[in-house]
């Protein structure tokens, strides 16, 4: 199968069946995407429910033509498609194939398979950005306390070189994104709609900033609407993409608590919650998780969080590095910085910034990524090419 046929088939299947679809994912795993698509469209012996789901959506158009159109649209809006096998693919999301959840009564708890493809906007390479990442999520109707905690945590994580992942919503999500940006760090918004029309519109300025220095990511193709149930489907991706999920504030049985449950169900992910004053409705979900979800860790700030997720870093990071240790897939700025090194010679960020014309803040951010990817080594703020990363 050609790479292009695989990409088109994944986009088509994702559109026909919606992300996370159990049987769709199993068929892609068994047959590859093009044959899975062919079977669902043409093989009468194929699972009838899946065929019916696809047939219903096909009234809106031919799936492969639709996929072509979506790829065209993506190009127009500055979005790109990422599929398994791409250097940018964050391999850890494939852990969703073994997610362990309480027996689900609805499709949201059943259709939790890995994404077939991802759409992204922003120049940084997705896998590298997510290699050291933490999800910071919570209530839209956050209190002043919650907003302050999300801001502190987002800022401090970003300052320590961790990518802050969240859902782009009002309240806790937005506070965490904004704080990461303010720290000059990297933040990723994982959306439940097309990356060309991020929701909510009230956060448009925020999304534009994230696109400039971070990433907008979605399983849904450009143009897709943020339908209600999609947020709950999306949450599994936030949990799977990161090393741990922190709920800052949440009402009981809220979306953020559902994300925390996904983290519990995934291997090696740390589920964390920030305590708050008893009596605040927005801390009930956190306290409830700390009481009743065994293994939920209480965290009071970035230091606690790094202590929690750092312990599994040794397990997770090498695998991520393996998928991305390829100079050809670096973003432009990172590649220029790498070329500015002289073999065997130390370089300071200032020197590198001067050699490349890349501003100081971006230089530091790229160096953190290059260090994480194993291309360069950080000696207390002075950098050298790493042996394995050198040409």
Q: Which residues bind a copy of itself (CB under 8 A)?
A: 145, 149, 274-278, 283, 287, 290-291, 297-301, 304
Whichever of 294 and 381 has its CB closer to a copy of itself, that residue is 294
Whichever of 120 and 282 has its CB closer to a copy of itself, that residue is 282
**Token pair listed for 96:** 């969703």
User: Closest separation between CB of residue 252 and a copy of itself, Å?
Assistant: 12
User: Closest separation between CB of residue 239 and a copy of itself, Å?
Assistant: 21
Is residue 248 reached through a cis peptide bond, with omega within 30 degrees of 0 on the bond before it? no
Angle between helices 255-265 and 284-292 (to 10 degrees): 30
| Residue 188 near residue 163, CB atoms below 8 Å | yes
Whichever of 294 and 391 has its CB closer to a copy of itself, that residue is 294
User: Closest separation between CB of residue 189 and a copy of itself, Å?
Assistant: 25
- Measured CA to CA, the distance from residue 248 to residue 276 in angstroms comes to 9
Task: Name every residue whose Cβ is closer than 8 Å to that of residue 221 and which is 6 or more positions away in sequence.
Answer: 11, 14, 15, 70, 73, 74, 119, 194
User: Closest separation between CB of residue 278 and a copy of itself, Å?
Assistant: 4
Whichever of 89 and 155 has its CB closer to a copy of itself, that residue is 155
Tell me which H or E stretch contains 12: helix 3-17
**SS3 (DSSP) at 332:** helix
Whichever of 212 and 307 has its CB closer to a copy of itself, that residue is 307
Q: Let me know the angle formed at the C-alpha of 19 by 65 and 251, rounded to the nearest 5 degrees.
A: 145
Tokens 């992910």 sit at which residue?
269
Whichever of 95 and 152 has its CB closer to a copy of itself, that residue is 152
């Amino acid at each position: 199968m050609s790479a292009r046929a695989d990409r088109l088939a994944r986009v088509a299947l994702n559109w026909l069946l919606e992300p996370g679809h159990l049987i769709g994912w199993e068929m892609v795993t068994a047959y590859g995407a093009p044959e899975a698509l062919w079977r669902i469209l043409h093989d009468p012996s194929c699972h009838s429910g899946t065929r019916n789901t696809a047939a219903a959506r096909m009234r809106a158009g031919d799936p492969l033509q639709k996929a072509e159109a979506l790829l065209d649209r993506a190009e127009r809006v500055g979005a790109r498609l990422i599929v398994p096998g791409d250097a940018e693919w964050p391999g850890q999301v494939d852990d969703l194939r073994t997610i362990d959840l309480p027996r689900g009564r609805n499709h949201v708890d059943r259709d939790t398979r890995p994404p077939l493809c991802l759409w992204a906007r922003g120049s940084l390479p997705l896998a590298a950005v997510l290699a050291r990442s933490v999800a910071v999520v919570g209530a839209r109707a956050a209190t002043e306390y919650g907003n302050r905690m999300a801001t502190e945590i987002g800022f401090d994580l970003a300052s320590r070189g961790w990518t802050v992942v969240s859902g782009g919503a009002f309240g806790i999500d937005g506070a965490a994104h904004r704080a990461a940006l303010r720290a000059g760090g990297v933040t990723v918004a994982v959306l439940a709609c097309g990356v060309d029309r991020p929701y909510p519109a009230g956060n448009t300025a925020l999304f534009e900033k994230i696109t400039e220095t971070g990433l907008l990511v979605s399983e849904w193709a450009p143009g897709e609407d943020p339908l209600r149930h999609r947020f709950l489907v999306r949450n599994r991706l936030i949990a799977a993409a990161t090393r741990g999920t922190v709920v800052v504030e949440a009402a009981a049985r809220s979306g953020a608590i559902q994300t925390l449950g996904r983290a519990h169900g995934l291997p090696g992910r740390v589920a964390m919650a920030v305590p708050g004053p008893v009596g605040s409705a927005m801390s009930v979900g956190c306290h409830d998780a700390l009481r009743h979800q065994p293994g939920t860790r209480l965290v009071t700030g970035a230091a606690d969080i790094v202590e929690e997720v750092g312990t599994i870093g040794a397990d997770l990071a090498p695998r991520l590095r393996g998928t991305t240790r390829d100079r050809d897939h670096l973003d432009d700025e990172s590649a220029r910085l790498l070329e500015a090194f002289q073999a065997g010679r130390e370089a300071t960020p200032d020197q590198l910034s001067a050699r490349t014309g890349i501003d100081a803040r971006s230089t530091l951010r790229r160096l953190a990524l290059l260090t994480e990817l194993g291309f360069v080594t950080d000696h207390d703020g002075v950098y050298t090419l790493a042996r394995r990363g050198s040409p």
